[in-house]
Structures are given as C-alpha cells and as structure tokens.
A and B are shown apart, each in its own frame.
Chain A
C-alpha cells in the first residue's frame, strides 16, 4: 500500500474559497512544488457514520471517528444490542441500534477524522479527489470545510508522484446543504466521478438526488435502509441508465459462483429446466439480498413472476417457467444469534428440481457461518441431494468499493441490471 504524504495540514477554508484554492493548487505553475494532480477519478462519499458517532459520544467506543467499519465499531455495536435489550439477531450497525445508542448517556469529546483517514485500499488507487460529506449528530453544528493535498509516495524507481486532494464538508444537515453549491465545480466532467452513499438509502432522498445524478456512478448498499425502498431505488436508478453498483449484490458473488458450479456438470444442467421450488433463508428481516439472488435465478432461467406477497416470515411468490409449470418461491427470515454486520445476508438456498420422468434433484447451499438443518428437512429423502457450503467473505465495504473503483466500469453489471427490477417487484 502506498503510504500517504500530506503536503499540508488540513486547512480550514470558507466553502466559497475551496474551488479557487484547489484550482490554484493544481495549476501548472504550482505543479513543480506539489507533484502532478493524478488524472484518475473523483469519489464523493456520503459518510454519516451515525452508529460510530453515537457510540463514541456515549463513551462506548474510543474515537476518533473515522467512518471506517472497524472491528472495534462492530464489537461496540454488538454490545449496544445487548445493553439496549434489542433482539440478539439485530445487526450491530442497524438503525435500531443507532436509535438506542442515541438514548445512551454521555458526552465524550469526538475527534472527527472522517474523510481524512483514507483506507489503504482506496488510496492505492490514487484518487484525484476525495470529497466527504460528514453530517454530525448535532444538527445545529455549522459548516466546516477542510482541504488537504496528499501524495502517495512514489515507490523506488517509480515515476513522479501523482497527487490528490481531500475535501471534507462537516456539519449539521442544514449546514451541509449550504455547502452543496461548491460540489459541482469540484467534480470536473473530464474525470469519472463516483458517489458512494455509505448510509441508509432512505435517510435523505433529496440530497441523494442532488448528489448522485448521472453521469456520476453510484455505489449503494441495498442492505442499508428499508428493503422496499432499497430495491425500488436500485431498480429506478438502473432503469434510468445510470451506472449503479450495489455492495449487497457484490457480496453475493460466492453464492452466484457456487450455484453455477453445481450445474456445471453437463448431466445436471437439464435439471434447471425442471425447477419446481426455490427456498431462500436470510438473516433477520431484510430480504433485499435474498430477493436479488432469486431475481437473478429467475431471470437466468426465464421465469415470469405470477404473484408475490409478503408473509409473516418473509416473502412468498409464484413464478411460471417457460414451459408453463409453476415454481413456488419462499424467502424466510431466520433469526441468527450472531448476525452479520450486513442485514439480511443469505443463510441458505434450496432448489428442488422435479422432471416429469426420472428422479428429482435437491440442491442445498449453506453459508459457511450458518447451518442448513431447516432446509435439509421437509421430505427431500427421495431426491438426489447435492449440498455445497458457500464460503463467507471477509472484505470490508472499503475493500469492496476499492474493487469497484479499480474496475472503473461505466455501466451497471448486466446481471444486476436484469435482476434489480424483478427483485423490486418481488417486494412490491
């Protein structure tokens, strides 16, 4: 990883002075002293870090506030779940944890380094500009605008330093709104711009609209926010032609791969034309990821959605295969004692294939972290049973975002683009 060289201590400027200041910083006259401005990309991050702010304020987590998803933050969130008497299956950074933490007493000082603490996975990509919008839990806080330039040190024998800058806008929501007008000039058209909405997708729709318009590329996480809103937003953005990346979809990659692998042997492929039942188990009450996987399967296998409804324990739907046969789908919410930090992660999948003649087949995939006993039950004994364990991924959101940025795609993954509208309809 390239170490960071801060060319200057973060400088606090009036918002209106920031564009001019940065323009001068990278002007040809200045380049000899500051290195060359990297011709890479700009990343704008909505970084509320509500849980971290509340936990630091209440003294349950040691600061500074960084906006990073650290182990300490997750552990503190889990402890808050217990202290607030929330169900143990509550994800540690869930909205209910934030609400509960807001009631915790305490007024610890909070050094706030959001936007200044750059994850090595991101800094290695040498972003030209990292703009962080850091709303504070104190809604009345006035706007602070800070600017710093940094250069990853050129490695031995390497070329010239390609430098970037960091801009942080911090304050209460109303104050942040004041700073919005400086963003446009800070995101030049000549460079790809990405907007990473690292917060609840339903917490500030107007602001998201303002920040994340095309051609800016959007990074969201459909595991954060009300499920229906998350899927509708994803579907609507994909439909508009904007390049959208969903971290929740990205986390499905080993499920995609494992399920595809089951059907790689030629003699099993025909079974895909005879699926009669699909069951998906997810952690807790957030079905977005499970529905995205289901929508992908349905799209790839050419199923039409006949009906879908929310039921007590999840979602129940009926699809119709291309040969007219119905496929029953059930997504079930399963409470987990030690839930993942991401709400609604997949626990298991069962696919029952029943040809008109011959023996049927039952495919069961289980998450490495969970068990499959529920899916293994239910009278599957007369079917050929194929079971696989899906490995758990341990990448942080920052690593997943870095992976997306390094690829630099300017369009939505076609599989996601096809699955998103169907996933939204499953919950409509």
Chain B
C-alpha cells in the first residue's frame, strides 16, 4: 500500500460547533490526567481554533502554585507539542491560570468564586463555567456539594460539572453518588465522562447503523450469531497500582468502556438524534442485558492476572511483582464475560466481552459475526465455510472491516474470505482527534449526548452486581487464572467460547 498523502484541501477545514466563551475549571490540576490528557486536548482545540478567544482554564489543586508555575508545569509536561508550535503555546498558555483550592474547605471554594468573577472580567468568559473533577473518586460527591454550597452551580445554563470515572464502586455506591450530585444540580449539568465515547469509531457505530439502510435490517438475532467486544492493552498496571488494586479490570474497563460499546452496538434506533433520545435507548438496552448465567456466574465469567513474560532480553514482570501491588493480590487484570440481552432484537445472541492488560496486542474492536449461509454450495478454499464478520476497529487504525466470501481465482468454484477495509486515517485527510478533545468540547458546549446519564450508570453497575458480589463474598468461585504477559489471556477464556463452538477473534 502506498503511503497516505494528506489531503491539503482538508487541512484547517473542520466545521465544528462553536463553544461559547468559557472558563474551564480543573480540580486536580496538579495530577496526571491534567497534563497528560486534558491540557493537550485543550491545546489541540486551541490550535484548531475551536476555543473562543474568551476562554480561560483555571487549574485548581492544593499545591500553592502561581499562574506562572502552572503554565511552566504544563509546558514541561508536553515539550514536543510546545516546541512544535511555540507561538501557539505562548498564546494558549496566557489563558491558563491557577488557584490553590482544597475542595473540602468551604473558604477555599468561596475564594474560588471570587477568582472566577475576576476571570470573567479579565477574559470576558461571561459566567459560563465547566468544572472538571479530576480528583480522587471519593471526593466526587463532596466536591459537587462544595460547588453547590458556594452557589457555583446555581445557573444550569452556565455551569456544569464533569465527573471522571469510576462513578461509584458498585450499584449501591453509584446510586448514592447519583443522589448526591443530583441534589447539587440538574441532571443536564452533570457530565459523567467515558473517554471511549469520544472516539470517532465508537460514534461511527451510530452513523453506520442509523445512516445506512443496509445494516439495520440485518442487525439482529435473525442474522447475527454472536458479538465480541474486545479492549486489549499491551501495557501493564504501570504507576496505577494503588488505584488498580482496589478496582481491577471489571471496574476499570468493563463496567464503563466496554459496557458503553455494548450499549451503542445493541441499542435500538433513537427517534431523533437528540441527547435524551440516544441516552434513553442506551439505558434501555443495558436494562435488558444480563449475565449469561446470573445464578452461577462462574459459568460465564473468567478472571485472569498477568504473570511474567517477554523475552530473555526484555523480560516483563508479572502483576504481583509490580511496584505497589500486593504479592498475593487477587485483583483481576483480565476479564472475559458472556452476556445476553433479553429483548426482541437480541434474544439468544451471546455477547462476549473481554479486556485485559499485557495482552498480545493493543486493540479495541467490536466484531459482529453473522450466521452462516443456510446451504454451502461451494467448497471453501480455507477448508470450511467462513461466517461473514463486520469488524469495527475502535483503536488503533480506527476504521471498519467487512469479511465476506468471494470466488477464489481459478477454474473451480471455491470460495475464500476477503476483507473490505475502511480506515479513518486513509479515507479522511486528517487523523481522528483524541477522545478527550471531543468530549471536552462537548462538555463546554453543554452537549451531554456522549456522556452517561444516571440511569445508564446504574444499569451498568446492576448488570455486574452478581459478579461483584461473588468476588466480594466467595472469590474462590471466580478464581484468578494466571496468563503469560503478552499472550491473549488465560486458556479458560478460550474455553468459555469453545463451549459454544466459537473462538475469540485474533485481531
């Protein structure tokens, strides 16, 4: 394949919705997420001219930094981006401010209100504020309360709160947290972020399904035999051992990212492209989803944990050898699940979901496998008939692939599968934005379509409650299967599909 030449006519042409004058307030501004994801995403929005000139970013954390120190720290954290466009960074960084704030101290939050008014004067941000809680999850509720008590969430048109994952630890805690945040503001002010929904390919599932007539008629139990949803990472736990030990793959990935992908793949068509209509359909499908065996969940779930691996030259440590991890940890770094959705569209179609760290490849995808042709008229060149598959690649190489049989060249009539591919990067002039770019823009626009609503979050937690209870009460019934680093997970996960006569796709 020839290298893709950028489409020069596409550069700079984005026709985006316009963000109103705005002050984005990030709590936890000294943390990892701010300099790794949020500020780079905002800088990208700035370079694309999607931020209004009346924009300010106010970083808040307990550290006693000045505006200048904050700007310096952000520049240090993204040297290549700054060096690439020093003038743009200079202009952008002039919009960064910092205020030392401890959200637990009411006097700090009152002082924050004063600073925001000053910023409104200075930057003409018109009182539009987006508060981003990039803090420890235990402060989500109290953080919202502090903001509400200080009157900063009073105006539902001008103020909103973005809350990072995880939203709760289980169904009960998610309900309790929803209760707290909803007492602080209206539901349309609460933006529960799931950065997977910011990915073009996840959103493309909606377009693919509902903008084309060819897919929707076959997007059901009559034509689809199974669905696989995979989010595989090659990295280990890295510096997140403290958090990961208390969460594990089920809470860290399945309950949020994978469940959102499942909801978008399986939802009914909304009546209109409207934030509430879409979120309602997602919530409905999650309410209809269940574990394949709720009474004996060990029959439909496999947990794993990566062990050592790699090569002699570059060995990889196992999870239990990672810094900050308990040597006897039973935290899962891999989960494979089988689910069903009890509605007219999906009755009887198994949904297999898997995620893991230190797997063979970094890949996220949704694979829809279609039923085999009722009669096989032709010999298959590969030995047996191949089911059609539609593969929606979420990352990397965002795009889609459709696998179907064609005639194998030659005098006989033998069939063989081929892949018809669509790649975002190749088909459009520019690579897709990071999920945070889209989601930050949407939050500032006040558009919650790609954020999860309270009932969606609760339905997602409720779906996994039997598993969470089992892990809590009798973990031996869901044993941890070790797997070698950089493989496709434990053999037990393969057995889960083998029982249904299926295989995991090897992407």
B9, B11, B126 — most chain A CB neighbours (10 Å): B9
Which A residues are in CB contact (< 8 Å) with B155?
158-159
User: Contacts A192-B54, A413-B49 hold; do A38 and B126 have CB atoms under 8 A apart?
Assistant: yes
Question: Is there contact, CB below 8 Å, between A256 and B54?
Answer: no
Taken together as a complex, chains A and B put the C-alpha atoms of A39 and B118 apart, in Å, by 11
Q: When the two chains form their complex, are residues B4 and A260 in contact, meaning their CB atoms are under 8 A apart?
A: no
Complex Cα gap A392–B430 (Å): 26
B53 adjacent to chain A (CB < 8 Å): yes
Most buried by A among B8, B20, B155: B8
Q: Are B10 and A260 closer than 8 Å at their CB atoms?
A: yes
Instruction: Assess whether B21 is in contact with A408, with CB atoms less than 8 Å apart.
Output: yes
Given A39-B127, A159-B157, A407-B52, do A270 and B12 touch, yes or no (CB 8 Å)?
Answer: no
Q: Give chain B nearest CB distance to A274 CB in angstroms.
A: 12
Interface stretch, picked from A105-113, A228-236, A261-269, is: A261-269
| Interface membership of chain B positions 1-44, coded 1 if the CB is closer than 8 angstroms to chain A and 0 otherwise | 01011111111110100111100000000000000000000000
Give Cα A172–Cα B149 distance, bound, in whole angstroms: 55
CB-contact partner of A264 in B49, B124, B126, B428, under 8 A: B428
Smallest CB-CB separation from B1: which chain A residue?
A266
B156 close to A157 (CB less than 8 A): yes
Contact between chains at B49 and A263 (CB < 8 Å): no
Chain A residues, Cβ within 8 Å of B426: 266
Assembly CA distance A38 to B121 (angstroms): 10
Q: Which residues of B have CB within 8 Å of A407? A: 18-19, 52
Q: Is B158 an interface residue (CB 8 A)?
A: yes
Q: Does B126 contact A39, Cβ atoms closer than 8 Å?
A: yes
Q: Give chain A residues whose Cβ lies under 8 Å from the Cβ of B15.
A: 253, 257
Q: Are B7 and A260 in touch, CB under 8 angstroms?
A: yes
Within 8 Å by CB of A266, from B5, B158, B186, lies B5
A158 touches B8 (CB 8 A): no
B124 touches A40 (CB 8 A): yes
Residues 236-265 of A contacting B (Cβ, < 8 Å): 253, 256-257, 259-260, 263-265
Contact between B8 and A410 (Cβ–Cβ < 8 Å)? no
Interface string of B175-215 (1 = CB under 8 A from A): 00000000000100000000000000000000000000000
Cβ of B52 and Cβ of A409 under 8 Å apart?
yes
With beta carbons under 8 angstroms apart, the residue of B20, B121, B156 that contacts A39 is B121
Contact of A190 among B6, B20, B53, B121 (CB under 8 A): B121
Contact among B9, B124, B154 for A259, CB-based, below 8 A: B9
Residue A272 interfacial (CB < 8 Å): yes
In the docked arrangement, what's the CA distance between A413 and B13, Å?
10
- Contact B7–A263 (Cβ < 8 Å): yes
What chain A residues lie within 8 Å of B126 (beta carbons)? 38-40, 126, 162
Residue A406 at the chain B interface, CB threshold 8 Å: yes
- Kindly state whether residue B429 has any CB partner on chain A within 8 Å: yes
Size of chain A's interface in residues, with CB distance under 8 A? 39
**Cα(A254)–Cα(B401), bound, Å:** 30
Q: How distant is B346 from chain A, measured CB to nearest CB, in Å?
A: 34
Contacting pair A264 B427 (CB below 8 A): yes
How distant is the Cα of A407 from the Cα of B53 in the complex, in angstroms? 8
B6: A residues at CB distance < 8 A:
269
| Among candidates A191, A270, A297, A301, residue contacting B124 with C-beta atoms closer than 8 Å | A191
Assess whether A415 is interfacial by the CB under 8 Å rule. Answer: yes
The 8 Å CB contact of A155, one of B11, B13, B127, B157, is B157
Instruction: Write the nearest CB–CB distance from A263 to chain B, whole angstroms.
Output: 5
Residues of B within 8 A of A408 (CB): 21, 52-54
- Which of A253, A297, A410 contacts B9, CB < 8 Å? A297
Whole-angstrom CA separation of A272 from B6 in the bound complex: 11
Residue of B whose beta carbon sits closest to that of A407: B18
Asked if A319 is at the interface (CB within 8 A of a chain B CB), the reply is: no
Q: Which of A136-169 contact B (CB under 8 A)?
A: 155, 157-159, 162
Q: How far is the CA of A256 from the CA of B11 in the complex (A)?
A: 11
Q: Tell me whether A263 and B9 are in contact in the complex, defined as CB-CB below 8 angstroms, given that A39-B127, A40-B21, A408-B21 are known contacts.
A: yes
Q: Please report the C-alpha to C-alpha distance between residue A191 and residue B20 in the assembled complex, in whole angstroms.
A: 15
Which residue of A158, A272, A301, A414 is within 8 Å of B156 (Cβ)?
A158
Chain B residues with Cβ below 8 Å from A159 are 127, 154-155, 157-158
Please indicate the chain B residues that have their CB under 8 angstroms from the CB of A39 in the complex. Answer: 120-121, 124, 126-127
The distance in angstroms between the C-alpha atoms of A162 and B20, with both chains bound, is: 15
Q: If the complex has contacts A39-B124, A269-B7, A407-B52, are A257 and B13 also in contact, measured as CB distance less than 8 A?
A: yes
Closest B residue to A243 by beta carbon equals: B53
| A272→B9 contact, CB < 8 A | yes
| B:410-451 near A, CB below 8 Å | 426-429
Evaluate whether A192 and B124 lie within 8 angstroms (CB atoms) in the complex, with A269-B7, A415-B12 already known.
yes
> In the complex, A157 Cα to B187 Cα: how many Å?
14
A41 proximal to B (CB < 8 A): yes
Question: Chain A's nearest CB lies how many Å from the CB of B156?
Answer: 6
Chain A residues within an 8 Å CB radius of B7: 260, 263-264, 269, 272
User: Could you say which residues of chain B place their CB within 8 Å of the CB of A162?
Assistant: 126-127
Rounded to whole angstroms, the CA-CA distance of A269 and B426 in the bound complex is: 10
- Report chain B residues within 8 Å CB of A415: 12-13
Q: How far is the CA of A411 from the CA of B19 in the complex (A)?
A: 16
Q: Which residues of A contact B8 (CB under 8 A)?
A: 272, 300-302
User: Which one, B11, B18, B53, contacts A192 given CB within 8 A?
Assistant: B53
Complex Cα spacing A403 to B18, Å: 8
Partner of A256, one of B4, B13, B49, B158: B13
Considering the chains assembled together, what is the distance between the CA atoms of A272 and B9 in angstroms? 9
A263 to B154, CA, bound (A): 48
Q: How far is the CA of A408 from the CA of B426 in the complex (A)?
A: 33
Q: Which residues of B contact A260 (CB under 8 A)?
A: 7, 9-10, 13, 429
Contact check: which of A158, A256, A259 meets B157 at CB < 8 Å? Answer: A158
A300 to B5, CA, bound (A): 14
With A159-B155, A410-B53 known to touch, is A263 a contact of B12 (CB < 8 Å)? no
**What is the CA–CA distance of A266 and B52 in the complex, to the nearest angstrom?**
33
Q: Shortest CB–CB separation between residue B248 and chain A, in angstroms? A: 41
Whose C-beta in chain B lies nearest to the C-beta of A157? B156
Q: Residue on A with the closest CB to B53?
A: A410
Residues of A within 8 A of B49 (CB): 409, 411, 413-414
Complex Cα spacing A272 to B429, Å: 13
**Pair A269/B5 contact, Cβ less than 8 Å:** yes
Top 10 nearest A-B pairs (CB, nearest first) are A159-B155, A410-B53, A408-B52, A260-B9, A407-B18, A300-B8, A260-B10, A269-B5, A266-B426, A406-B18
Extra pairs beyond A407-B19, A414-B12 (15, CB < 8 Å) = A40-B21, A40-B126, A155-B157, A159-B127, A162-B127, A191-B124, A257-B15, A259-B9, A260-B429, A263-B9, A266-B5, A300-B8, A301-B8, A408-B52, A413-B49
- Please, could you name 26 A-B residue pairs with CB atoms under 8 Å apart, sorted by A? A39-B121, A39-B126, A40-B21, A126-B126, A157-B156, A159-B154, A192-B53, A257-B13, A257-B15, A260-B9, A260-B13, A264-B427, A264-B428, A264-B429, A266-B2, A269-B4, A269-B429, A272-B9, A297-B9, A300-B9, A300-B11, A406-B52, A407-B52, A409-B49, A411-B53, A413-B12
